[in-house]
Amino acid sequence: MRIRGCYMKRLYYLSPSVESVEAVSNDLHEKGITDWHFHIISKDEAGLFSHHLQSASLIKRTDVVRFVERGVIAGGFLGLLFTMPLAYVEAFTLNVWMAVSFFCVLLGSWAGFIGGVSQENYKISRFHDHISAGQHLIMVDVTQENEKLIRCVMEVRHPEAVAQGKSSI
Alpha-carbon span 45 to 141, nearest angstrom: 21
Per-residue pLDDT of 54-80, as tens digits, reads: 899 999 999 999 999 999 999 999 988
| Helix and strand totals (H; E) in the chain | 7, 5
- What's the chain's length in residues? 169
| Model confidence at 157: pLDDT above 80 | yes
Phi and psi at residue 158, to the nearest 5°:
-140, 65
Distance in angstroms (rounded) separating the CA atoms of residues 44 and 81: 47
Q: Give the C-alpha separation, 33 to 74, whole Å.
A: 38
Distances (CA, A) of 90 to 85, 96, 97, 112, 149: 12, 11, 12, 33, 65
Question: pLDDT tens, 9-55?
Answer: 999 999 999 999 999 999 999 998 998 999 999 999 999 999 999 89
Could you read off the pLDDT of 74-109 as tens digits, one per residue? 999 998 888 888 777 776 777 888 888 899 999 999
